[in-house]
C-alpha cells in the first residue's frame, strides 16, 4: 500500500492504472476510521481493481465555531486499517497542498444543500462539494462510495455529479450501527458515557417513527412530534427533525411515497446526525 500526499502523485498513479485497463474506486473520508468506513472500503474493493481511500479533515466544510481543531485524528491507525483491508493507495493530502493561500474557486450546489444541515451549517456543503471535486480530480476514479449516514451529503454529491457531468458512478451504502443501534461516527469518541447512553434516543426515535408508519400514520407532523418526544425524554437538543423527499430533500406534509426522515441533534457538545427511509405501504 502506498501513501501519497500530492494531487500530482495521485493523478500519476491513477493514470498508470487506467492505462493498464484497471478501474479505480475512491472512498473519501475524514479519517478516524470505523466499521462504517470499512464497509465502504470492502464494497469498493469488490467493485474496482484499485481502491483509493482519501483521508483529509477538510477545513472548508467546518464553520468558525465548529469542531475542526478537535475532530478526532489518528492517521497511523487509519493507514494500518487500510493496509489490512487491501487498499492500494491512501491519499493523504496536507491542508497546504489542498488549499493555496489564495485559493479562490468554489463548487456550490444551490438547492439540495440549502435545507437540513445546510441551514444550521452555512457554507458546509460548499466545502464538501469543493473538496469532493478536488478529490475526484486528483484520484480520477470510475466510482466513489459514500454512506447513507450522511444522506444529505449523498444527495448533494449525486446532484453535483449529474449537473456537472462528472464521469464518476456514485454508490451509497447503508449506515453501519453499533450493536445497540447508535450510528457509527468518528465523533462518537467525544461522547461521555452518560451522553453515549442518551444518544440512543436518536435511533429510538427513528424506530418509533417506523412503527407509526407501519401502523398507518401518514401525517409527517405526527411523525416529527413522536421523534421530538423521544429526544426530549433524554433532554437531547434538536437541531432538526424532518421528513423530506429523498432526492430533492423538500419537506413532505404527507407520506405518499418513500421518504427520508432526517435528524440532527446535540448530545452534550457533540452534534450527531442520523436518518432512515420511511416506506408507506400500499
Ligand atoms: P466521514 O469520515 O465521517 O466524513 O465519512 C466518510 C464516509 O463514510 C462518508 O461517505 C460517510 O457517509 C461514511 N460513513 C460515516 N459513518 C458511516 C456509518 N456509520 N455507516 C456507513 N457509512 C458511514
- Condensed to tens digits (0 to 9), the pLDDT of residues 131-175 reads 999 999 999 999 999 999 999 999 999 999 999 999 999 999 999
pLDDT in tens, 90-99: 999 999 999 9
Q: Can you tell me the mean pLDDT for 47-53?
A: 99
Strand ranges, E, within the chain:
2-4, 24-29, 50-55, 89-91, 143-147, 169-173, 237-244, 259-267, 270-278
- pLDDT single digits (tens) 236-282: 999 999 999 999 999 999 999 999 999 999 999 999 999 999 999 85
CA of 34 to the centre of ligand 1 (A): 9
Per-residue pLDDT tens digits for 217-239 = 999 999 999 999 999 999 999 99
- Asked if 264 contacts 242 with a C-beta cutoff of 8 angstroms, the reply is no
Nearest residue by C-alpha to atom 10 in ligand 1: 146
**pLDDT at 51 exceeding the cut of 70:** yes
From atom 5 of ligand 1, which residue's Cα is the shortest distance away? 29
From the CA of 149, how far away is ligand 1's center (Å)? 6
The mean pLDDT value for 106-127 works out to 98
Q: Do 205 and 236 meet the contact criterion of CB atoms below 8 Å apart?
A: no
Pocket of ligand 1 (CB under 6 A): 29-30, 36-37, 39-40, 146-147, 149-150, 173, 175-176, 183-186
Amino acid at each position: 500500500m502506498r501513501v501519497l500526499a500530492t494531487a500530482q502523485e495521485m493523478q500519476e498513479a491513477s493514470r498508470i492504472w487506467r492505462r493498464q485497463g484497471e478501474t479505480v474506486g475512491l472512498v473519501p473520508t475524514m479519517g478516524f476510521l470505523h466499521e462504517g468506513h470499512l464497509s465502504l472500503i470492502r464494497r469498493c474493493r469488490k467493485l474496482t481493481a484499485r481502491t483509493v481511500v482519501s483521508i483529509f479533515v477538510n477545513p472548508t466544510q467546518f464553520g468558525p465555531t465548529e469542531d475542526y481543531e478537535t475532530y478526532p485524528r489518528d492517521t497511523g491507525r487509519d493507514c494500518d486499517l487500510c493496509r489490512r483491508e487491501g487498499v492500494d493507495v491512501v491519499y493523504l493530502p496536507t491542508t497546504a497542498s489542498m488549499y493555496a493561500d489564495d485559493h479562490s474557486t468554489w463548487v456550490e450546489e444551490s438547492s439540495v444543500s440549502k435545507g437540513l444541515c445546510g441551514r444550521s451549517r452555512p457554507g458546509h456543503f460548499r466545502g464538501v462539494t469543493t473538496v469532493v471535486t478536488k478529490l475526484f480530480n486528483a484520484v480520477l476514479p470510475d466510482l466513489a462510495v459514500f454512506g447513507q449516514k450522511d444522506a444529505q451529503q449523498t444527495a448533494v454529491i449525486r446532484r453535483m455529479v449529474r449537473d456537472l457531468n462528472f464521469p464518476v458512478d456514485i454508490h451509497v451504502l447503508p449506515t453501519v450501527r453499533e450493536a445497540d443501534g447508535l450510528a457509527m461516527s468518528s465523533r462518537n469518541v467525544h461522547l461521555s458515557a452518560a451522553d453515549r447512553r442518551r444518544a440512543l434516543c436518536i435511533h429510538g426515535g427513528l424506530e418509533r417513527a417506523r412503527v407509526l408508519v407501519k401502523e398507518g400514520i401518514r401525517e409527517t407532523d405526527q411523525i416529527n412530534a413522536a421523534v421530538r418526544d423521544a429526544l426530549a425524554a433524554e433532554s437531547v437538543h434538536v437541531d432538526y427533525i424532518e421528513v423530506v423527499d429523498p432526492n430533492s430533500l423538500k419537506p413532505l406534509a404527507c407520506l405518499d411515497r418513500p421518504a427520508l426522515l432526517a435528524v440532527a441533534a446535540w448530545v452534550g457538545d457533540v452534534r450527531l446526525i442520523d436518518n432512515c427511509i420511511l416506506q408507506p405501504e400500499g
